[in-house]
Amino acid sequence: LRPQDIDVESDSRLGAGAGGVVQKGVIRTTGQPVAIKVIKVDDKPKRDQLINEIRGLVQAQGCPYLVQWYAGFANNTNLQVNVALEFMDLGSLADLKKRMANAGMSGAPSNHVAAISAQVTLGLSHLHSKHILHRDIKLENILHNREGRVKLTDFGIAKDLDATLAVAGTFVGTVTYMSPERCLGEDYTFISDIWSVGMVIYEISTGNYPFKDISSFPALFEHLCEKPEPRLDPGVYPTAQCEYVALSLVRDVSQRWDAERLLSHPFVSGFTAADEQALAQFFATL
């Protein structure tokens, strides 16, 4: 795939993050839709490093629960990298959360949360088995499509994200999926990704970010590192769903389950194609 093989549609912005914008494009010869993500970099060595990482990721794939990275192109005239990605027609789980809120729902029904959790955990388990850390699991980096498929994206790219919680300025709207150990500056390990999965599942279950009412960095820090971990209300949610969150959101890393082990949990272990079809139908109602 070369840059000239892709037509970027004008006015087709799919979203924007800290690093740049994502637009819709199409492969000229086949008509296949793609997402084009622009990542800005500080200098040429960083650009070349990123291109190398992307080339590695392009090869390391072939999992149905990971967004396919087709190619990365460096632009010689400016400091940016363009990545061609598999296009996911319903956007991210942040979009799903908004659509559920607009439909007056506080969270997705349990069977659908289970189907989402299963796919997220399958994708992560595949990454971990290839010794790739995700590092940035959050609603925006989990995409979904009309087939009821859920996939992780933006994994394995070296980013200076560790400063996110410490940035100066206003707190308004600050949301972190960062694990307590990472927040404390300790090593980031495979199990750190699991904390973020627990946060995401909690949020899709309830329609709310677990620490949504917290209004300052010290308070957020205290909740992450000292207060009891977020738990689903067992009076409202099925036991298996509460357990899945409780096994992921464990501050003690030696007690937190890894992706492989979570896949054996009854909340997700029975996941089938029929659950995916039911999820597709649910997406279609929103």
**Contact region with ligand ATP (CB under 6 A), list: 52-60, 85-93, 170-178, 211-219:** 85-93
Among 86, 95, 154, 203, interactor with Mg ion by CB under 5 A:
154
Among 6, 22, 83, 242, interactor with ligand ATP by CB under 6 A:
22
DSSP structure class, residue 217? H
Q: Is 167 in the site for ligand ATP (CB under 6 A)?
A: no
For residue 286, the partner it binds in Mg ion, ligand ATP, none, with Cβ less than 5 to 8 A by kind, is none
Q: Are 128 and 193 in contact (CB under 8 A)?
A: yes
Query: Least CB distance from residue 88 to Mg ion, whole Å?
Result: 11
Q: Which two tokens stand for residue 244?
A: 């899945």
Q: Is 54 in the site for ligand ATP (CB under 6 A)?
A: no
**Contact region with ligand ATP (CB under 6 A), list: 49-57, 139-147, 198-206, 237-245:** 139-147
Q: What does the alpha-carbon distance between residue 115 and residue 241 come to, in Å, rounded to a whole number?
A: 11
**Contact region with ligand ATP (CB under 6 A), list: 15-23, 100-108, 236-244, 277-285:** 15-23
Residues tagged active-site = 136
Among 14, 115, 132, 214, interactor with ligand ATP by CB under 6 A:
14
**Contact region with Mg ion (CB under 5 A), list: 82-90, 148-156, 184-192, 264-272:** 148-156
For residue 92, the partner it binds in ligand ATP, Mg ion, none, with Cβ less than 5 to 8 A by kind, is ligand ATP
- Identify any residues that bridge with 10 across adjacent strands, giving them in sequence order: none
Query: What length is written for the chain?
Result: 286
* Number of other CB atoms surrounding residue 83 within 10 Å: 24
Among 6, 41, 57, 67, interactor with ligand ATP by CB under 6 A:
67
Q: Are 37 and 141 in contact (CB under 8 A)?
A: no
Burial (CB count <10 Å: 0-12, 13-18, 19+), residue 205 = buried
Torsions phi, psi for 236 (to 5 deg): -115, -40
Q: What does the alpha-carbon distance between residue 261 and residue 238 come to, in Å, rounded to a whole number?
A: 20
Q: Is 141 in the site for Mg ion (CB under 5 A)?
A: yes
Q: How many residues bind ligand ATP (CB under 6 A)?
A: 23
DSSP structure class, residue 26? E
Q: Is 17 in the site for ligand ATP (CB under 6 A)?
A: yes
Sign of CA dihedral 251, 253, 254, 256: positive
Q: Looking only at Cα atoms, what is the longest distance across the chain?
A: 58
Question: In this structure, are strands 80-86 and 6-16 parallel, antiparallel, or unpaired?
Answer: unpaired
The amino acid that residue 225 corresponds to is C
Q: Is 87 in the site for ligand ATP (CB under 6 A)?
A: yes
Q: Is 37 annotated in some ligand binding site? A: yes
Contact residues for ligand ATP, defined by CB under 6 A: 14-19, 22, 35, 37, 67, 85-88, 91-92, 94-95, 140-141, 143, 153-154
Kindly list the residues in this chain that would bind Mg ion in the complex (CB under 5 A).
141, 154
Going by the annotation, the residues of the binding site for ATP are 37
